[in-house]
Structure 1
Amino acid sequence: MNSKTISYYLKKEETSAGMIYKEEQQNIVEVFHENTKQSHTMRPMLDRSIFNHLYNPAQIFSDSRNNKNYFLKPEITLPEARPVDMSFENVSLKRESCRAFNSAPLSDQELSDLLSSLRVTRYHIPDLNKKAQLTFRTYASAGGLYPVEIYVLRPDHTHTEWKAYHYAPKTHNLTMINSCIKQAKVIQSLQDHKEYSKDCGAIIFLTGVLKRSLDKYGALGYRFSLIEAGGILQQLGLASAGMGLGTLAWGGSYDNEICEFLKIDGVDETFLTSFIVGHK
Structure 2
Amino acid sequence: MAKTVDIEQQGAVATVTLNRPASLNALNGQMSYELRDGFKELAGSAHIRAIVLQGAGGHFMAGGDISFFKKSLDLPADARQQKVTELVGVVHEFVTIMRTMPQPIIASVRGNVAGFGMSLVAAADLAVAADNALFTQAYCQIGASPDGGNTFFLPRAIGSKRAMAMTLLNDPVSAEQALAMGLVNQVVPDGELASTTLKLAGRLAKGPTQAYARVKELINSTMSNSLQQQLDAEQERFALCSVSQDFAEGVTAFMEKRKADFTGE
TM-score range, shorter chain: under 0.3
> Which TM-score applies when normalising by structure 1?
0.23
Indicate the structure with greater helix content.
2
Larger Rg: 1
> Which TM-score applies when normalising by structure 2?
0.24
Higher relative contact order (CA 8 A, sep 6+): 1
Indicate the structure with greater strand content.
1
